[in-house]
Amino acid sequence: MKAYDHKKIEKKWQNIWEKKGIYNAKNNSPQPKYYSLIEFPYPSGAGLHIGHPRSYTGMDIVSRKRRMEGYNVLYPIGWDAFGLPTENYAIKTGKDPRIVTKKNTDTFRKQLKSIGFSFDWSREINTTDPKYYKWTQWIFLQFFKKGLAYKAKININWCPKDKTGLANEEVIGGCCERCGTKVEKREKEQWMLAITKYAERLDKDLDDVDYLPQIKLAQRNWIGKSEGAEIEFKIKHNPSLTLPEGEGEMPRFFTTNPELWKVLQDRVLEMRKNPTNGEKIMWDLLRRNTTEYHFRRQHIVDRFIADFICVEKKLIVEVDGDIHDYKKAEDKERTKILNQLGFEIVRFSNDEIIKNREDIFQSIILKLNSISSEALSFGEGLGGVKVFTTRPDTIFGATYLVLAPEHELITNLKSQITNFNEVEKYIKEVKNKTEIERTSDDKVKTGVEIKGVKAINPANKEEIPIWIADYVLATYGTGAIMAVPADDARDKEFAEKFKLPIVKDYKKADFEDFGKKITRFKLRDWVFSRQRYWGEPIPVVHCEKCGIVPVLEKDLPVELPKVKNYQPTDSGESPLANISKWVNTKCPKCKGKAKRETDTMPNWAGSSWYYLRYTDPKNSKEFASKKNLKYWLTSNFSLSFGEGQGGVDWYNGGNEHTTLHLLYSRFWHKFLFDQGLVPTSEPYKKRTSHGMILGEGGVKMSKSIGNVINPDEIVKTYGADTLRVYEMFMGPFNQSVAWSTESIIGSRRFIEKVWRIGERVLKQKNFSVPDLKPVKNSEDGRFQSKIGGMSQNSSLVKILNKTIKKVEEDIEGMYFNTAISSMMILATEMEKTENVQIEDYKKFLQILSPFAPHVTEELWNTLGEKKSIHLSSWPKWDENLIKDEKIKIVVQINGKVRAEIMIRVEENEETIKQKALMNEAILKYLAGKDAKKVIYVKNRLINIVV
RNA sequence: GCCCAGGUGGCGGAAUUGGUAGACGCGAUAGACUCAAAAUCUAUUGAUGGCAACAUCAUGAGAGUUCGAUUCUCUCCCUGGGCACCA
């Protein structure tokens, strides 16, 4: 046997495996399936990072173990190749991103193959392949058809120098990542996906999946479900406002502000003196009615004079003279404003009143009866404002309201607000604030009181001031809060700054007493547009006549055309906008002139469904056949699509993707499930994550620090098996660990040791008949005889069986480091033991094979096995061989270890205690003292308390 | 500020229904083999004191519960990651 030459061995077996296709998954096999998944890489120009193999080896070990357990395993790979780095490279160099991507994926493929992952390469996919993104576009159209993809004007990050919209991740500290210019906010129309429609299910269904607890928590925090109450606060005029002296008396039912009242009052008096015929009749009717309803005439509401009004019911009765035929539009506007303030309006002409006075009166009474009693509480006439709170119990402590500057109430109350100029100025200031200023660390609270109006706290009926401030967000809740400065740090800070009252031992309220229970989410709809070149074109056209029209499914994919320049246009559109030949097209509906959408999709799109494509990567008729989806996601052909259980069996990936990618793909999957297109309601049954590999010394690996490790170099010098074992051994799989080239040697030595044992085992096999020489049992020093060449219950067999069990369990829990540690112990033991049985050695090779697939395959083959070790059956451990009949227990005095004794497992507690108390060393310590208490922990220790 | 994960020898890390702290590996020291080196093997390797047997101290800090705490409780400090005024 030759010396261990990793270069030869690894190349040799990689070729054989590929030629035989031993890792190719079989569709619809009667075998049970197992679908294990890693996040497909972005093929960057820098080549494979040393961190990639960590995650891939972890799942490779799981996949290989599953194959040995008899599963038909799908462990696929592909490329998530759309995205910014390639596009930026294209902008800089003018090279076609297609060519760059091809070059990068070629490098990545070669590198991954050199590490010996058991990927099914026949299912390789690429998100930038038109045959793939045809289906990304197709899924988008399904969203569009269900109304879940829509266009909306939203604020985006805008770089005024580059004249382009920026993704959040391109904004570093409020500045453009590329040119360093301060980023502005700009309103633009964007495509949105309505993920918020799924917020409740995305949160709730986490109960049923097997994700690491921290992953579930991160998802839940991101979705941000909170339960609270919506409470309405009535608004009224500030009663402290009085008219200037000598200007008359304040009316009892004041429904406008004093300035307007002053202006309009004369006109009111004049109108009362000179009623029209219709008005006269109406006033007689309403005044003399015998019902409980009380009417007033010519009453000022907001900026208008209402003819007749029942203030308690907020009903206005208008009597229109001939002149009203000419000002219908004005009346309409007036009605709209009054409706917003909560008034209902009925309108009659002079003629109608003269002819049908009794009928009209009856209809007014009926109308009044139909208005709910809630309106009766009205006495001031300005409606209310709804606030959202998770702490309705603190309502007695609410001493003021705060509205977001964007709140609609501010324009609605315009005529009531006495300091509108000041308010408007503040709103403008807030709008001009950049993102950095609004989110800066000091975050000084600003705000303005809305003067002229007050809110009524429904709990204690107290009048409280209303403020606007930008610490209240328009996009969350109702855009308005009740401030409880005694209880909330932010409200307290605000109240202290603006000298607002803080009430400390307020009464707790019951949850249901005010307002109604309501659920809110932090999650926002997904901004799905990018003004970029290197992404999937959004497959719709804009028609002059028909508006937004989806591209016909038969015309998919809408292929990304070649362009000369990858820079976005001056107006911030994608470079696609410059290709008029591509942009100008026909409307699929009316065949008239139309323009193509030039926005592209974000690179989250292709990765939201890629695991589905792996089940049927070459299908040109569907994104994947139902048959394959059923098999790979549920292992059940007869299952109807509505049943919902299953998904990818095990998905491992980075912590950086536990919110966005995971949430997005769960959202797409649930949508497809609702359309009957996938058989399960969740994409992934189980999700784990791996930690990062940092540079030596625990800092980030980066070109600028110069601590980047090239995996090719490691594979060349130490071999793929050593790299794999080292990356699994270096620390806990889910934690970040610092790379140490110095330490790799330990993993290499371990493999060489396994090789040396193999050499010896092979020699025995070839040159000697299994002999009957006794083998020394290292544990108790006795010699054990062997029967028929097999050593029975030797210490080695015991360790072997224990190790099989441990490795088996550790792989399932991803405790790869301790699995390797236990195999190192086994190897050391085997090397010490003479006459290692070939069958025992082979079992060792088998449990090591998922970690070090090449060297174990070579040794397995050398020992005469024809079939691949990776297709062999996972060895079974024997409980009886693991059991100890004698064990060592520790004797403590007052918790300190003073002696060790050997006991037989069947000995009873009393005997063992006696043994401990009679122990020589213990007697010495106990001299002259009484044992107060003797504690026995089974198979562990005895503690004597003195 | 909030949330999450961590803090154990010179270094990476073991040890969880509370039960021998430091498995395994790297590094270091000494020895065997060798003309020599490399490789390999063997031994030692938390700190302090002691010739030694051995003793004492030690898992970020401090308290508590317990016969017994790296593990449980409380308070605090530090490192890494995420969120960022979400009512």
Q: At A335, is the pLDDT very low, low, confident or very high (cuts 50, 70, 90)?
A: confident
| Phi, psi for residue A940 in degrees, rounded to 5 | -125, -65
Of all residues in chain A, the percent with pLDDT exceeding 70 is 90
Q: If we measure between CA atoms, which residue out of A306, A487, A300 comes closest to residue A392?
A: A487
Task: Say yes or no: Cβ of A878 under 7 A from any atom of strand B.
Answer: no
Task: Say yes or no: Cβ of A833 under 7 A from any atom of strand B.
Answer: no
Distance A698 CA to B77 C1' (A): 21
DSSP E strand stretches across A285-343: 296-301, 304-310, 315-320
Residue A512 and residue A507: Cα distance in Å, rounded?
15
Residues 692-751 of A with CB under 7 A from strand B: 698, 700, 729-732, 735-738, 740, 742-743, 745-747, 749-750
- Whether residue A103 has pLDDT greater than 60: yes
Pairwise pLDDT comparison (A531 vs A180), residue with the higher score = A531
Distance A213 CA to B7 C1' (A): 21
Q: If we measure between CA atoms, which residue out of A343, A348, A370 comes closest to residue A358?
A: A348
Task: Say yes or no: Cβ of A270 under 7 A from any atom of strand B.
Answer: no
- Positive or negative, the CA dihedral A371, A376, A378, A384 is negative
pLDDT score of A785: 38
Task: Say yes or no: Cβ of A393 under 7 A from any atom of strand B.
Answer: no
Residue-wise pLDDT tens digits, A345-393: 999 988 888 888 888 888 888 888 887 655 433 334 567 899 999 989 8
Output the CA–CA distances (angstroms, integers) from residue A638 to A13, A622, A641, in the order listed: 39, 20, 9
CB count, 10 Å around CB of A630?
22
Q: At A780, is the pLDDT very low, low, confident or very high (cuts 50, 70, 90)?
A: very low
Pairwise pLDDT comparison (A338 vs A814), residue with the higher score = A814
pLDDT score of A770: 47
Distance A936 CA to B64 C1' (A): 25
Residues 501-560 of A with CB under 7 A from strand B: 520, 522
- Whether residue A617 has pLDDT greater than 70: yes
- Whether residue A771 has pLDDT greater than 50: no
pLDDT score of A362: 87
Distance A745 CA to B25 C1' (A): 9
Residues 7-66 of A with CB under 7 A from strand B: none
Residue with structure tokens 């972005």? A42
Task: Say yes or no: Cβ of A673 under 7 A from any atom of strand B.
Answer: no
Q: At A442, is the pLDDT very low, low, confident or very high (cuts 50, 70, 90)?
A: low
CB count, 10 Å around CB of A944?
22
Q: At A174, is the pLDDT very low, low, confident or very high (cuts 50, 70, 90)?
A: low
Mean pLDDT (chain A, rounded): 87
Q: In terms of DSSP bridges, do strands A650-654 and A33-38 run parallel, antiparallel, or are they unpaired?
A: parallel
Distance A219 CA to B65 C1' (A): 36
pLDDT score of A128: 97
pLDDT score of A172: 66
pLDDT score of A763: 85
pLDDT score of A377: 35
Residue A534 and residue A539: Cα distance in Å, rounded?
15
Contact between A669 and A682 under an 8 Å Cβ cutoff? The reply is yes
Residues 6+ away with beta carbon under 8 Å from A880? none
| For range A403-424, the mean pLDDT | 86
pLDDT score of A685: 94
Helix (H, G, I), strand (E, B) or coil at A210: strand
Residue with structure tokens 């004597």? A944
pLDDT score of A619: 97
Task: Say yes or no: Cβ of A814 under 7 A from any atom of strand B.
Answer: no
Residues 646-665 of A with CB under 7 A from strand B: 655-656, 659
Overall pTM surpassing 0.90 (yes/no): no
DSSP result, A534-582: SSPBP-EEEETTTEEEEPPGGG---PPPP-S--SPPTTS--GGGG-HHH
Helix (H, G, I), strand (E, B) or coil at A941: strand
Cross-strand pairs, A893: A896, A944
Q: At A440, is the pLDDT very low, low, confident or very high (cuts 50, 70, 90)?
A: low
Residue A343 and residue A711: Cα distance in Å, rounded?
74
pLDDT score of A13: 97
Distance A697 CA to B7 C1' (A): 16
Residue-wise pLDDT tens digits, A858-888: 999 999 999 999 999 999 999 888 887 888 8
Contact between A279 and A259 under an 8 Å Cβ cutoff? The reply is no
A423, A425, A426, A431 alpha-carbon torsion, rounded to 10°: 130
pLDDT score of A929: 76
Most confident listed range (A55-64, A213-222, A512-521, A896-905): A55-64
Residue-wise pLDDT tens digits, A43-72: 999 999 999 999 999 999 999 999 999 999
DSSP result, A490-546: HHHHHHHHTT-----SPPPPPGGGSSEEEEE-----EE--B--SSSPBP-EEEETTT
Pairwise pLDDT comparison (A262 vs A274), residue with the higher score = A274
- Whether residue A769 has pLDDT greater than 60: no
Contact between A935 and A890 under an 8 Å Cβ cutoff? The reply is no
Contact between A428 and A150 under an 8 Å Cβ cutoff? The reply is no
Most confident listed range (A426-430, A611-615, A942-946): A611-615
CB count, 10 Å around CB of A738?
17
pLDDT score of A767: 65
| For range A457-469, the mean pLDDT | 92
Distance A897 CA to B56 C1' (A): 14
pLDDT score of A127: 97
Which bases on strand B have an atom closer than 7 Å to a protein beta carbon? 1, 3-6, 11-15, 19-21, 23-27, 39-42, 55-56, 67-69, 80-82, 84-87
- Positive or negative, the CA dihedral A711, A714, A715, A720 is negative
For residue A192, what are its two tokens? 């949105």
pLDDT score of A382: 67
Residue-wise pLDDT tens digits, A122-136: 999 999 999 999 999
pLDDT score of A703: 82
pLDDT score of A244: 45
Residue A119 and residue A98: Cα distance in Å, rounded?
24
pLDDT score of A439: 57
Worst-scoring range by mean pLDDT, A106-120, A294-308, A535-549, A844-858? A294-308
Worst-scoring range by mean pLDDT, A196-200, A282-286, A687-691, A700-704? A700-704
Helix (H) / strand (E) element for A465: namely: strand A463-468
Task: Say yes or no: Cβ of A225 under 7 A from any atom of strand B.
Answer: no
Residue A545 and residue A543: Cα distance in Å, rounded?
5
- Whether residue A631 has pLDDT greater than 50: yes
Residues 893-922 of A with CB under 7 A from strand B: 894-898, 900
Q: If we measure between CA atoms, which residue out of A669, A668, A543 comes closest to residue A597?
A: A543
Nearest nt (C1') from A391 Cα:
B87
- Positive or negative, the CA dihedral A515, A519, A523, A525 is negative
pLDDT score of A57: 97
